[in-house]
Amino acid sequence: MKTFKKTTLLIMIFSIVTRLLSFFFKIYLSRRVGAEVLGLFQMTASVFALFCTIAGSGIPLMLSRKTAELTALKGHEKELDGVMTGAVILSVGVTLFLIAGAVLFRNKLTFVFSDGRCVKLFYLILPALISTVVYQLLRGYFMGKARYFDYSATELLEEVVKIVACLTFLSNAFITLSDSVAVTVAFTVTDYVVMITLLIVYFVKGGRFAKPTGTKELLKAGLPVTGMRIVAGLLTSFIAIALPAALVRTGSTSGEAAAEYGRAVGMAFSLLFAPLSLTGALSVVILPEAAALAATGKWDDLRIRVNESLVFIFLITVLFYALFVVLGETYGELLFKDPKAGRFVAISAGMVVPAALSGLVNTTLNSLGEEKKVFLIFLIASVFLVASILFLPRLIGIYALSVGECSFHLCEFVLGMVVLWKKRGYDGRIFKPAAIIMTFAFPTVLAAKLASMLTSDLGMSILFRAAIPTAFGVLIYAGLILVFKPIPTLKALFFKRKKQRTETSLITPPLRQGRRKRVNV
């Protein structure tokens, strides 16, 4: 448990720094190139992501799980080099096939994009398909080996290199490049720099390429994940094409539609998914942890990991939800100088909690070998998102994306929890604390709203109109948690348990010592 918490904290720190860099750079980029250029790049990236999904499929995830299992079962570590080699050969082979197909059928791909300007950008970013696939495999290997510093540090490196590359290609030295081309080329260059760095780390720390082994097993286990990610890529591409087209049918120009899409995905989503910098670390750590614990039959420990992770996610995301509802527009005006992006944040705040929760649940189920059920749940949840994109734009415009995303994540979370319960990975002990924590959103919203109204009436600058209500909301939320104590002890989330007091566990399952006892927490 001590190791679990330390590694989670390590990843969380790296994730926070990385996402802060990414967040503030997106603010700069949105101001530098504008919502329209950002929208063009996002539409191109969505199709590129589909190609990445097909090329890498579910192999990186299965490689991570297999690496964790072989590491936990002593005496099998030597098999890892062969498994890694097989994964690289399999993924790179599919990647080269896809690149060749995209080049040969160039004229056939133009229909994919609702804006013809995206075609040129797509072929500029296409070479990064190889580096992206190898990058994903290496990070999956590091995750499975529990080398979290390597895993997190390279992600931070990627963000730093991306910023430097974008600033370079957007500078006067490359003035002949349009802004959209400059951003796309910077992404491609970044991808190769990071891939080479990861390969160096892999070899320096003892990794080798050997005779390929386990490719059939990786492919078979990865097929459900592959299917899910292909559908996810198709879904993202569908949204990037169908939503702007639907906005055009409602009366917007193609430029306005691209700007609306770029404003939502390129600006607002970066703020809405900011809580993942705190909660995403749990998903990274729990995959190899859950795989190793299940392989060794330690189900009680697994349930503790899952339950405490879920409660932590509730603690973080409910606060963000309350702040976004009240201050979304203020944040958008302050950070992006775009109140429309902020309005999207406020209206879409409901997706924050289920998005983080569903990510953890899906990762846990994948680590337990339930890829097929995760895929089925994904398909069911996707129906809500597709229906929203098809039928709601004429009624609520770009906010159809908000309704669809919220419905999608909520469905994934609820159905995933049912499967996890049946799999013995969850025992229901967080229902009460989670419900209490969620009720704290209402007084937090009220407090932040009152503070926001006061700062507006006093004519304060946008910085103070954002900072003061935020601070007031956080203080009220923290005070409610300390006063009502929905969680018996927060220390269980962050510190090592004392050996003589197992009751310090947040939600420790009943002990079995002679007779069945109920633990008082």
pLDDT in tens, 79-117: 777 888 888 888 888 889 888 888 887 776 666 676 677
Confidence of residue 415 (pLDDT cuts 50, 70, 90): very high
**Between 460 and 118, the higher pLDDT residue:** 460
**Between 331 and 288, the higher pLDDT residue:** 331
Q: Indicate whether 460 belongs to any domain.
A: no
Exposure string over 277-294, b if 16+ CB within 10 A, otherwise e: bbbbbbbbbbbbbbbbbb
Structure-token match 């469905």, residue found = 411
Q: Indicate whether 324 belongs to any domain.
A: no
* Number of structural domains the chain divides into: 1
Query: Could you tell me the two tokens for 29?
Result: 């980029």
Q: Which helix H or strand E contains 73, and what residues bound it?
A: none
pLDDT in tens, 311-363: 888 888 999 999 999 999 999 888 888 888 899 999 999 999 999 999 888 88
Interatomic CA distance for residues 414 and 420, integer angstroms: 10
Examine the pLDDT at 515 and tell me if it is beyond 60: no
Interatomic CA distance for residues 248 and 260, integer angstroms: 11
Q: Indicate whether 178 belongs to any domain.
A: yes
Q: Indicate whether 425 belongs to any domain.
A: no
Range of the domain at 207: 19-258
Q: Indicate whether 443 belongs to any domain.
A: no
Q: Indicate whether 374 belongs to any domain.
A: no
Residue ranges in 170-253 assigned as alpha helix (H): 179-204, 215-249
**Between 182 and 369, the higher pLDDT residue:** 182
* DSSP 8-state class, residue 110: G
* DSSP 8-state class, residue 489: -
Burial of 186 (0-12, 13-18, 19+ CB in 10 A): buried
* DSSP 8-state class, residue 173: G
**Between 507 and 90, the higher pLDDT residue:** 90
Do 2 and 271 form a contact (C-beta atoms < 8 A)? no
Confidence of residue 258 (pLDDT cuts 50, 70, 90): confident
Q: Indicate whether 376 belongs to any domain.
A: no
Examine the pLDDT at 177 and tell me if it is beyond 80: no
pLDDT given at position 519: 33
* Among 80, 51, 76, 50, CA closest to 64: 80
Confidence of residue 76 (pLDDT cuts 50, 70, 90): low
Q: Indicate whether 314 belongs to any domain.
A: no
Query: Could you tell me the two tokens for 473?
Result: 């909301």
